Chain A
Amino acid sequence: MNAITMDNADTHSGVSNAKLGVWLFLASEVMLFATLFTSYVVLRMGSATWPWGWDALNVPLGTLNTAILITSSVTIVMAYAKAYDKDKSGFQRWMAATLALSLVFLVVKGFEYAHEFRLGIGPSTSVFYAVYFTMTGLHGIHILGGILVNSGLLYMSTVDEHWNNPLFLGRVEGAGLYWHFVDIVWIFLFPALYLL
């Protein structure tokens, strides 16, 4: 594999195939979450009552998770900046921080779910909780997917063959794009479920 392979001039679009592929994948994800948000709007408008998030959910924990996810978006973009500069240890530090924050997000979400289950609250409790568990659950699965990909990249950075591969930076960029998308989904989920 040589450097010429990843040169954008070799594609007909001016965008590397990997980046175009990730964006196409994200386009399908936009449609997936668009249908879910549409369902949320339809169910909410059709319901006689809809609880304030402050009454039904743990807003401080939700806010904490928002801060965690925003911070992880910064750490992964810093990891990309370090990979761009070919700073291996810097990349590994920031990517490890991203992974740690992702895991903390899941742990906090786990505490929230556990508390709700202890109170006997589940998806069948009400339309609100059905929407809440469906949307946050699907988002949580996306976080898990991101953790798998980012762990893979962290491992690959320890192997010189992968680290020196000219395609590596594109892989980091693709993983970053996906992670930022997951962050954006939460940016809409948080007010929709917790605050409004």
Chain B
Amino acid sequence: MADPGTPISPSLADMQNALLAVDRVRAGRIIRDSCIPGSPFTCLERLVVPALEEIGRRWEAGDVALSQVYMSGRICEEIVDTMLPPGDPRRIDQPKMAIAVLEDHHTLGKRIVLSVLRAGGFEVADYGQGVTVDQLVEQVIRNKVRILLISTLMLPAALRAKEAIAQIRKELPETKVIVGGAPFNFDPRLWTEVGADAMGYTASDTLARVKEMAGGMQS
């Protein structure tokens, strides 16, 4: 998140405005004009990620809408994929990560988080939606996932995360779990109750948590 005391650069402010206006062309032009070709990570760190972080912060404060967060993530993901295609060896050297919508079929939250993490240079395996506890535990253990993101919309699914996390911990005690979604936003104590390591209030908040966790792990 940008330090409120630090003046925002003109290109960052322009980027935020272009994203909030869902203006792909303008966002692409700002990137081309502001970033040095061949230095995608500098561009990510100085422009793309701070813009998404600020938009996430404003969503949390009720100033922007979910549709704008979603479209911003999609636009940034598209732009970043052109600079740094998925699978590019220059992508961040990172621990194995995965995301799933647990026992639920509402995929928007997962899609937003995926876009923001990919726009931040991370590779994340997508385990899909409507994933049962057993399926999730089996996939995480088989793939030795180090950072797991669980997205939920409905309260019963959020509560079911407790069982999944407990089973994963038995086999992979070092695996970190971040939960997110409406039930966690409406009850700020719920993420600790289900045994998660962290919660993402927004997709960009999740990106910050992933960066912290990945920084403390060997890939």
Whether chain B is bound by chain A comes out as: no
**Which residues of B are at the interface with A, using a C-beta cutoff of 8 A?**
none
Q: Name A residues whose Cβ lies closer than 8 Å to a Cβ of B.
A: none
